[in-house]
């Protein structure tokens, strides 16, 4: 006599995923959310940012309504240059608490890392509405506004075909902007490549264009 087993619609893979979920739940519940946060802080202080992300993730699983856990993980993402993940956590934290300026400032730093000047300025502006006395954020915003202005001037200069020295004059401006904004701003990189090509440094221009 044979026995018939019914699968109730679940595959072996589904069952395996359920076992993994149960194991993760047991591991998470070994500590409180604040204790996981504490472990994350310890990892962050020792510059073990990947481990910090994992610890903060445990805290978030236990208490997804706490914006500080998201902000802490965003800080760790920022240190690893994982800007998109940082922005995502900052936006979630702002949804939970729109009066925490750190969410805006951290988001601004991530946008800056991506080379997105306009969104970085918007994030700094929003943060300064919450915390208008933050001088460091004011300085960062002013630097970006200056860089944005110089970039606009550079673009106008390079379009002036009546100026034969535009590439030589524009190159130090492009290099200044690279130092201020990093290497991820596409507009700066295009302008710099154009300047390099215009002064005969074609190989550097070619390499920069390929890296975009």
Is the pLDDT at 206 greater than 60? The verdict is yes
Q: What is the pLDDT of residue 4?
A: 41
Give how far Cα 120 sits from Cα of 34, 42, 43, 129, 181, Å. Answer: 31, 29, 28, 14, 11
Is the pLDDT at 90 greater than 60? The verdict is yes
Q: What is the pLDDT of residues 106-159, one digit of tens each?
A: 999 999 999 999 999 999 999 999 999 999 999 999 999 999 999 999 999 999
Handedness of CA 84, 86, 92, 97 (dihedral sign): negative
Residue 173: CB atoms within 10 A of its CB come to: 19
Q: What is the pLDDT of residue 6?
A: 42
Using CA atoms, how far apart are residues 8 and 195, in angstroms rounded to an integer?
67
Q: What is the pLDDT of residue 16?
A: 46
Using CA atoms, how far apart are residues 148 and 142, in angstroms rounded to an integer?
10
The label of the residue with tokens 């591991």 reads: 27
Cα atoms found within 13 Å of the Cα of residue 205, Cβ hemisphere only: 15
Q: What is the pLDDT of residues 179-195, one digit of tens each?
A: 888 888 999 999 999 99
User: What's the chain's average pLDDT?
Assistant: 89
Using CA atoms, how far apart are residues 144 and 112, in angstroms rounded to an integer?
9
Phi and psi (nearest 5°) for 200?
Answer: 90, 5
Q: What is the pLDDT of residue 212?
A: 73
Give how far Cα 84 sits from Cα of 7, 29, 59, 73, 165, Å. Answer: 41, 29, 21, 12, 39
Does an H or E element contain 87, and which? helix 83-96
Q: What is the pLDDT of residue 126?
A: 98
Q: What is the pLDDT of residues 13-62, one digit of tens each?
A: 544 454 555 565 666 778 899 999 999 999 999 999 999 999 999 999 99
């Amino acid at each position: 006599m044979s026995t018939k087993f019914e699968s109730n619609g679940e595959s072996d893979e589904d069952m395996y995923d359920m076992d993994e979920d149960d194991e993760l739940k047991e591991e998470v519940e070994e500590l409180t959310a604040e204790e996981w946060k504490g472990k994350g802080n310890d990892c962050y202080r020792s510059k073990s940012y990947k481990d910090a992300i994992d610890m903060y993730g445990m805290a978030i699983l236990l208490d997804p309504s706490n914006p500080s856990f998201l902000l802490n993980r965003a800080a760790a993402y920022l240190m690893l240059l994982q800007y998109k993940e940082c922005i995502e956590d900052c936006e979630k934290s702002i949804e939970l608490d729109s009066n925490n300026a750190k969410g805006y400032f951290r988001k601004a730093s991530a946008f800056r890392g991506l080379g997105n000047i306009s969104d970085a300025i918007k994030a700094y502006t929003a943060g300064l509405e919450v915390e208008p006395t933050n001088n460091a954020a004011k300085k960062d915003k002013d630097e970006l506004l200056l860089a944005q202005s110089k970039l606009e001037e550079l673009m106008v200069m390079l379009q002036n075909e009546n100026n034969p020295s535009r590439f030589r004059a524009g190159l130090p401006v492009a290099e200044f902007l690279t130092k201020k904004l990093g290497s991820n701003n596409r507009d700066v990189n295009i302008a710099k490549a154009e300047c390099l090509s215009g002064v005969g440094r074609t190989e550097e221009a070619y390499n920069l264009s390929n890296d975009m």
